[in-house]
Amino acid sequence: MPEAATSRPEPPFLRAGPAATTMALWTLGSLSVLAGLYAVRYDPRFLVKYLAVLAVGAGLGVAYTWLRDGRFRLSACGSMLTAGLLVVSLPPNLPAWPLFLGLVVAIVLVRMSAGEGRLPFNGVLVGRLFLMLAFNAEIVDWPLRGEVVDALSTATPLDLFHTEKGFHALGALVLGQVNGTWGDMYQMVPGSPGEVCGPVILLLGVILVWRGVLDWRCGTGFVLTFLVVCGAVNLPVARDLAASAAGGSTLWVLWRILLLNLFGGALLFAAVFIAGDPSSTPVSKGGRWLAGAIAGIVNAVVRAYTVYPEGIVFAFLTVNLLSPTLDRACFWWRGRALLRQRRRVQERLAQPAPAGAR
């Protein structure tokens, strides 16, 4: 065993040991692909910001290790990865000061200061929750680069559906080409850099699972459960839209809603990079499936019934809180199943042999 049973691997590593740095670099490389794709399509300056944030994350990791242990340790891949995950999940134009404070919370207060017996909170989620509470105006602002106007209403595709029940062009959304206007009311913006292209995120997830960096069970359960619950809670909306001037059958409108919710927002990004974190999700296979199902339910309910168009933070922080309980429940159930199996074997062995049998 690579670690004692009482310890958990640090994010985002699926297994500890010499391969940890390699695994972190694979995940950082995947994030860099998303950052580069956003920079090419929308804002070249974001790539510079992304690299600067990685450097700040590495510096925070090194500084914290020096203050805690009195020695320098140049290996800071985990801190860089936390910084990268945070910056690609935020509005690209978030000011430097809130972003720096979010990095301090995510890396120093959560990731590096965690000890034995702590609740397995994901540092990226806690950092984003801090920004949602302390800098709410900045975290929900999606301005356009280079636009100098007195007033401009912007919306991501998910915001548009949440507020107006309007649809952005699904083909463009899937390909990560979010632009133009809607109804002369909103200027469309793509959202965070981690949301730019769903097929690319899925491809990166497949590669990371193939390399053994991420676990696929929690993310798969999350997406499947979300789609089922999202379809159920949006069925009345689909009926109303089908009966309106938009026309079309209820099933067709519901299908469009499901595709919009699948490729709009951070659902796929969370399924790959948040659900795959082994330090904040259950360690048992059954627990990972249950965690994904719980996150899918919470995210669908938050999107449908609250003022928030996205519920990733609430969904996976709930999973973080429940992870130890889910593991205990799965281990208990597995233990009882093995005990029943053992008893059945013992009963068969205790039965007398048939007459004439050798």
Q: What is the pLDDT of residues 13-63, one digit of tens each?
A: 344 334 567 778 888 999 999 999 999 989 899 999 999 999 999 888 888
What's 47's domain CATH number? Answer: 1.10.3430
Q: What is the pLDDT of residue 13?
A: 38
DSSP H or E stretch at residue 219: helix 217-233
Q: Which of 15, 122, 123, 23 is nearest to 77 (CA)?
A: 23
Answer yes or no: is 127 within a domain: yes
Tokens read off for 96? 């430097």
**Mean pLDDT computed over 230-245:** 86
Q: What is the pLDDT of residues 183-213, one digit of tens each?
A: 777 778 888 888 888 899 999 999 998 888 8
Answer yes or no: is 112 within a domain: yes
Q: What is the pLDDT of residue 233?
A: 93
Residues 142 and 126: their CA atoms lie apart, in Å, by 21
Pick 101 or 119 by higher pLDDT: 101
The DSSP code sequence of 290-325 is: HHHHHHHHHHHHHHHHSS-S--HHHHHHHHHHHHHH
**C-alpha distances out from residue 192 to 34, 139, 335, Å:** 10, 10, 44
Tokens read off for 349? 């062995």
Stretch among 58-62, 82-86, 110-114, 189-193 having the lowest mean pLDDT? 110-114
Q: What is the pLDDT of residues 280-305, one digit of tens each?
A: 888 888 889 999 999 999 999 999 89
Alpha carbon 81 to its chain centroid, in Å, reads 14
Q: What is the pLDDT of residues 151-172, one digit of tens each?
A: 457 778 888 888 888 888 888 8
Residues 79 and 333: their CA atoms lie apart, in Å, by 36
Residues 296 and 288: their CA atoms lie apart, in Å, by 12
Q: What is the pLDDT of residue 224?
A: 96
Answer yes or no: is 15 within a domain: no
3-state secondary structure of 58: helix
Tokens read off for 330? 């799965």
Answer yes or no: is 355 within a domain: no
pTM attached to this predicted model: 0.84
- The sign one gets for the Cα dihedral 128, 133, 138, 142 is positive
Contact by Cβ (8 Å): 206, 26: no
Answer yes or no: is 179 within a domain: yes
Contact by Cβ (8 Å): 84, 54: yes
Answer yes or no: is 345 within a domain: no
pLDDT at 214 over 70: yes
Answer yes or no: is 307 within a domain: yes
Other C-beta atoms within 10 Å of 221: how many? Answer: 21
- Give the model's confidence band at 70: pLDDT under 50 very low, under 70 low, under 90 confident, else very high: low
Domain count, the chain: 1
Q: What is the pLDDT of residue 34?
A: 94
Pick 234 or 169 by higher pLDDT: 234
Range of the domain at 113: 20-141+152-335
Contact by Cβ (8 Å): 146, 154: no
**What percentage of the chain has pLDDT greater than the value 90?**
33
Q: Which of 109, 135, 181, 125 is nearest to 318 (CA)?
A: 125
Q: What is the pLDDT of residues 345-356, one digit of tens each?
A: 666 777 776 665
Summary count for the chain: helices (H), strands (E): 15, 3
Answer yes or no: is 11 within a domain: no
Contact by Cβ (8 Å): 275, 293: no
The DSSP code sequence of 148-180 is: --S---EE-HHHHHHHH-----HHHHHTT---S
Contact by Cβ (8 Å): 227, 138: no
